[in-house]
Structure 1
Amino acid sequence: MDLPPLIQSFVLHFGEMGSRWGINRTVGQIYALLFVSPQPLNADEITDKLGVSRSNVSMGLKELIAWRLVRLQHRPGDRRDYFSAPDDVWTIFKTLAEERQRREVEPTLSMLRDALLETPSSPEEQYAQARMRQMYELMELMTEWFAEVRKLSPATLERLMTLGAKVQKLLEARDRLRLLPSRGKPGARIEEELP
């Protein structure tokens, strides 16, 4: 690799992590290089910097474009394609989550829906179907939550994530308030007034 030590360490780590995330090591390295590059790079520059074959770089770039993690750009008077990663890390996070949902969650939900429509023919299948229903309900709840999160602005999403355990305390306080009688309405519960 023809990279400064700090960048090389980052690129190598992303290559290792990429193989654990189910992508090719070179794809992880290409993405890491583009992520830290101050300007877009063409395939030849990526090949030289990473010391990998041009065909691996071409295939890796195609995969990253399919994941919507790399932008293709052109420069006036230059026939080569240039590539860059999105600047905003929240955009990258949302894109990754959307693509994983489309590629992994939606097919699993579809399979579970089909399985839940089947009529079990044995106690073993009844048990299995009940477990599948639990999985389906959890995944559906997560899908709905993610749809709401995607609507948030990056600033709001960052604030939400930094709340951490404070959200749990807020929900616990809300649950305690629901059990208290409401003032002015004998016998009524505060839960009618809470979201």
Structure 2
Amino acid sequence: MTEFTDHTNLLPTAVQQFVLHWGEMGGQWGVNRSVAQIHALLYLSDRPMHAEEISDTLKIARSNTSNSLKELLGWKLIRRVPVLGDRRDHYEAETDLWQMLTRVAQGRKEREIDPAVAALQTCADEAARDPRISPVARERIDAMHGFVRTMDDWYRQMIAIPPGRLMMLIAMGKRVLAFLPKGKGEK
């Protein structure tokens, strides 16, 4: 990537497109567009950048940049790095794709899945004690709770697999099915 010495210069077209597209995807995933764009910029940058430089490059407010950097630090997708001769905070992105994926997955799990598992456990417990609830409702609550717990257990197993082995498993794709017993309705 080219050096960002003159912040008014346009980014290379491919970098610009990546940053804009990453921002759009972030919006679809429930992530603030500026947060996603800053992450994309730092991910493609070949050197750490300071907040003012990020703001100028992306043409976003300094306060927005500051808040976005805090969020990215919280997700552990970026880190502060010292730059000799400059007292400002500089930032660089995690570039290991597996680390990025696992950090995002872990963050989403903690914010979304763990509370869902706990809430469904509470609902299942209440349903088991309440004689007024219909058997259908009780069964469906239990089924939902069991499903979410199973997916949570699966996540824990997958996150423990070393990335190289997990990539091999992913690359095998549906060929893995040959090793599994046939399910109901399968030929």
Same fold (TM over 0.5): yes
Instruction: Provide the TM-score with structure 2 as the length reference.
Output: 0.86
1:120 correspondence with 2:130 = yes
Does the aligned pair in 2 maintain the 1:15–1:28 contact within 8 Å?
yes
Does the aligned pair in 2 maintain the 1:42–1:83 contact within 8 Å?
yes
Q: How many residues align?
A: 173
1:165 correspondence with 2:161 = no
Match of 1:92 in 2: 100
For structure 1, which runs of at least 5 residues remain unmatched after alignment?
Answer: 176-195
1:140 correspondence with 2:149 = yes
Identity of aligned residues (%): 38
Instruction: Provide the TM-score with structure 1 as the length reference.
Output: 0.83
- Residue 25 (structure 2) aligned to one of 5, 17, 25: 17
Larger Cα-atom Rg: 1
Deviation of 1:136 after TM superposition, in Å, equals 1.3
Match of 1:179 in 2: none
For structure 2, which runs of at least 5 residues remain unmatched after alignment?
Answer: 1-7
- Residue 29 (structure 1) aligned to one of 9, 12, 37: 37
Tell me how large the CA RMSD over aligned residues is.
1.7
Residue aligned with 2:168, SS? helix
1:104 correspondence with 2:112 = yes
For the residues of structure 2 that align with 1:151 and 1:61, how far apart are their CA atoms? Answer: 29
Q: Which has the higher contact order (CA 8 A, sep 6+)?
A: 2
Does the aligned pair in 2 maintain the 1:113–1:136 contact within 8 Å?
yes
Residue aligned with 1:83, SS? strand
Deviation of 1:122 after TM superposition, in Å, equals 3.0
Deviation of 1:127 after TM superposition, in Å, equals 2.7
